[in-house]
Structure 1
Amino acid sequence: MHVMCFDQAPSYHADGHFRMSMRQLQGKQAGPSDIVWIGLSIIEPGGGTVVSAARVEKFYVVVEGALEVSAQIDDSPPTVAVLGVLDSCRIAPGETRRLHNRSDQLCKVMLVMPN
Structure 2
Amino acid sequence: MHVKRFKDAQPYEAPNHRECFGLRLQGFEEGGPENQWIGFSQFLPGGGAGPDSTPFEKVYVVLEGEMTVEIDGQETMLGKFDSCTIAPGEVRLLTNKTNLTAQMLVVIPYPPET
TM-score, normalised via structure 1 length: 0.90
CA distance in 2, matches of 1:31, 1:16: 29
Other-structure match for 2:98 = 103
2:97 is paired with a residue whose SS is: coil
Give the root-mean-square deviation of aligned CA atoms.
1.3
* Shift of residue 79, structure 1, vs aligned partner: 2.5
**2:7 aligned partner, one-letter code:** D
- Structure 1 unmatched ranges of 5 or more: 73-77
Task: Show the 5 A alignment for 1:47-58.
Answer: 47-58=47-58
Structure 1 runs of 4+ with >2 Å offset:
none
Contact 1:24 1:30 in 2 (8 A): no
Task: Show the 5 A alignment for 1:60-75.
Answer: 60-72=60-72
Distance 1:5 1:87, change over 3 A: same
CA distance in 1, matches of 2:30, 2:22: 12
Contact 1:71 1:91 in 2 (8 A): no
Work out the percentage of aligned pairs sharing the same amino acid: 39
**2:78 aligned partner, one-letter code:** L
- Structure 2 unmatched ranges of 5 or more: none
Q: Deviations over 1:11-35 (max 9, x none)?
A: 1001210101001111124852111
